[in-house]
Amino acid sequence: MFAQLSLDQLDAIHQATQEAEYLPGEVIIREGDRGDKLYVLLEGEVAIIKNHGTPSEHRLATMTSSDFIGEMAILDDAPRSATAVAVAPSKLLTLDGMSLKELIRQMPEIAFAIFPVLTHRVRDAERRLS
């Protein structure tokens, strides 16, 4: 997501992020909760699950290093659409929603890194439904 940014821009992002670590089975994001953070997976593996913990549980995706999660709830101010659970020991960078929006205002190129991922996820969901 940040590959096209300058060192100054990367430093600004670094100043706004925090590291978090999760063990296998730990919930990172819970479906239905208010979305207030973006997560960038540095190490590990995270499952994205719809209806987590119910008989209709369904794994939507598996995220690996350099993938990001949680952006949709920040961008549309809607509840989380799925649950994210660590599958392996995982290290993530967290960026709160207000900081992400401010960074996008200051560095619009970040949005152009997010858009292709969002459209890919929507097309993939449409493909699975058809």
Domains, the chain, with CATH or none: 7-125 (2.60.120.10)
pTM score, whole prediction:
0.82
Which residue positions in the chain have pLDDT lower than 50? none
Quick check: 87 and 24 in contact, CB under 8 A? yes
Rounded CA gap, 13 and 112, in Å?
Answer: 16
Within a 10 A sphere around the Cβ of 100, how many other Cβ atoms? 23
How far is residue 4's CA from residue 109's CA, in Å, rounded to a whole number?
A: 8
pLDDT given for residue 2 in this prediction: 63
Q: Could you tell me how many residues make up the chain?
A: 130
Q: Dihedral (C-alpha) 66, 72, 77, 78: value to the nearest 10 degrees?
A: -130
User: Residue 47, Cβ neighbours under 10 Å: how many?
Assistant: 18
Euclidean distance between CA atoms 68 and 40, whole angstroms: 4
Asked if residue 36 lies in contact with residue 80, where contact means CB atoms within 8 angstroms, the answer is no
* pLDDT tens digits, 64-79: 988 889 888 888 888 9
First CA to last CA distance, the chain: 29
Q: What is the pLDDT of residue 3?
A: 62
Q: Which residues contact 16 (CB under 8 A, 6 or more apart)?
A: 95, 96, 99, 103
Task: Write down the pLDDT at residue 110.
Answer: 77
Please tell me the predicted confidence (pLDDT) of residue 5.
66
